[in-house]
Amino acid sequence: MRIRTILAAAAAPAALAAVLLGTAGQASAAVQPPAPSAYYYNPSGNALGGPQSAPGNDFSFASGYLAKITEKQNNANINHQTITITGHVDPGTVVSDQPNGGDSSTPPGAPNMRVYFEGSGGGVSDGSPDGYMGQHWWAHPDSAVVYLNQTTGGFIMTVTVDPANWSDWNGQPASANQALFAGAATHVRNIGVSFGGGYFFENGVTGQGGVTIDSIQVG
């Protein structure tokens, strides 16, 4: 099921009737999860700008170096569950990663997007060493990666939240630090995809076309 917040709400007329009649009148309403938001690197390439929404969840590569698209979560526990992200890449897309982040020896088609999540890392801050190592995780199985110059049309990305499938900000496997991984996976605040190329997972891509995110599901 898609992670979402359920809000119990009572309509005003029903609440008034309950007061007058001495009965309880309450209806439940599901609050839709926030729409995905994009983050772009600024021209210097040293900081992220965002979040930016997009009509229909259609995100353009032409707006700059697209680094990631995420959907906010509320301290969600996704450990040992499966993330599934669906969408499509616009026809005729030609993208490239940032020159200072790519590897010139990689073959054409290297620019890619991959499943990504961000957790609390056990409550440490982003600025601490444990924060960098424990909060941001990228999937590496083929099922969780889409090569943008080799893909047109629909895609399905899927990966299990298990240490064997993930790497940290420094490219180290989650299996080498399972406690930090578990701390992040049980306190998730963002799930989505990141864009990169060469040796880097989130240095951003740019070019023509774009990508649409249809759904982000965990179950």
Can you list the positions of beta strands (E) in the chain?
Answer: 5-9, 27-31, 37-41, 48-52, 58-60, 65-76, 82-89, 94-97, 112-119, 136-139, 145-147, 153-160, 166-167, 188-196, 205-208, 210-218
Which residues, listed in sequence order, are joined to residue 118 by a DSSP beta bridge? 136, 190
pTM for this one? Answer: 0.78
Which CATH architecture describes the domain 33-218? Sandwich (2.60)
Structure tokens given for 132:
């960098």
pLDDT for 106 equals: 54
Contact in structure between 213 and 57 (CB atoms under 8 Å): yes
pLDDT for 28 equals: 42
Distance from chain centroid for Cα 65: 16
How do the domains of the chain map onto residue ranges?
1-32, 33-218
pLDDT for 105 equals: 46
pLDDT for 33 equals: 62
The one-digit pLDDT tens for each residue of the chain (219 residues) are: 333 322 233 333 333 233 333 434 444 444 566 789 999 987 665 678 888 999 999 999 998 899 999 999 988 999 999 999 999 999 777 888 776 555 554 555 588 999 999 997 554 555 454 556 678 999 999 999 999 988 889 999 999 999 999 999 888 899 998 988 998 999 999 999 999 887 788 888 988 899 999 999 999
Contact in structure between 64 and 211 (CB atoms under 8 Å): no
pLDDT for 101 equals: 56
pLDDT for 84 equals: 98
Contact in structure between 188 and 73 (CB atoms under 8 Å): yes
pLDDT for 97 equals: 74
pLDDT for 197 equals: 84
Contact in structure between 4 and 31 (CB atoms under 8 Å): yes
